[in-house]
Structure 1
Amino acid sequence: MQYLEYLLLGYLVIWPIYIYLTHEKEKQSVIANPEQRIAVYRITMLQLWLPVMILMILVSQSHISMSDIGLQWQFGLANQIGVAALVLIGGYFLMSLKRLSESTENHQAIRKQLAYIQWLMPTSVKESRYFILGVSITAAVCEELLFRGYLMHMLADYMPTYGVVIISSLAFGLPHLYQGPIHILRTALIGGVMALIYLATDSIIVPIVLHAVIDMYSGALAYLVLRKQPSEIIAEKSR
Structure 2
Amino acid sequence: MSGLSPADYLLLIPVIALAVFLAISPLRDSKWKARIRAGEDPRARLKFYRETMVLLWGVAILCLAFWLVSGRTLAGLGFGMTVEGWRGGLAWGAALASFGYMVWSTVETARSRSTRQSVRRQIDAMGGLDMIRAKTSAEHTRFLGVAITAGITEEIIFRGFLIGALALVMPVWAAAAVSVAAFTLGHIYQGPSGMIRVFVIALVLTGIFLIGGSLWPVIILHIAMDLSSGLAFRLVDRHAEADAAAEAASAA
Instruction: Indicate whether the TM-score tops 0.5.
Output: yes
1:203 alignment partner, SS class: coil
Aligned equivalent of 2:165, options 142, 151, 154: 154
Residue from 60, 76, 80 that aligns with 2:85: 76
CA drift at 1:10: 1.9
Q: CA deviation at 1:185?
A: 4.6
Q: Distance in 1 between matches of 2:105 and 2:151?
A: 21
Match of 2:148, SS state, is helix
What is the match of residue 54 of structure 2? 46
State the SS of the aligned residue for 1:180: helix
Q: CA deviation at 1:59?
A: 4.6
AA aligned opposite 2:26: Y
Equivalent position to 2:211, from 180, 200, 212: 200
Other-structure match for 1:9: 15
Tell me the residue number matched to 1:26.
32
Q: Which of 33-42 and 60-69 deviates more?
A: 60-69
What residue is the counterpart of 1:127 in the other structure?
A: 139
Counterparts of 1:1-239 in structure 2 under 5 Å? Answer: 2=7, 5-33=11-39, 34-61=42-69, 63-74=71-82, 75-115=84-124, 116-119=127-130, 120-131=132-143, 133-227=144-238
Give the % identical residues: 29
In 1, Cα distance between equivalents of 2:167 and 2:121 = 41
* 1:51 maps to amino acid: V
* Change in CA separation of 1:43 and 1:231 when aligned onto 2, cut-off 3 Å: same
Q: Which runs of 5+ in 1 are unaligned?
A: 233-239
Q: Give the drift of 1:217.
A: 0.8
1:19-40 deviation per Cα after TM superposition (whole angstroms, max 9, x unaligned): 1112122112112225311111
CA distance in 2, matches of 1:93, 1:171: 25
For these two proteins, the number of residue pairs brought into alignment is 231
State the TM-score, normalized to the length of structure 1.
0.85
Structure 1 Cα separation of the partners of residues 88 and 107 of structure 2: 28
Question: TM-score scaled to structure 2, two decimals?
Answer: 0.81
Aligned-partner Cα distance in 2 for 1:228–1:186: 25
Contact 1:194/1:207 (CA < 8 Å) preserved in 2? Answer: yes
Q: CA deviation at 1:182?
A: 4.6
Paired residue type of 1:66: L
* Contact 2:134 2:140 (C-alpha < 8 Å) held by counterparts: yes
Could you say what the CA RMSD is over the residues aligned between the two structures, in angstroms? Answer: 2.4
Measured in 1, the distance between the counterparts of 2:87 and 2:54 equals: 33
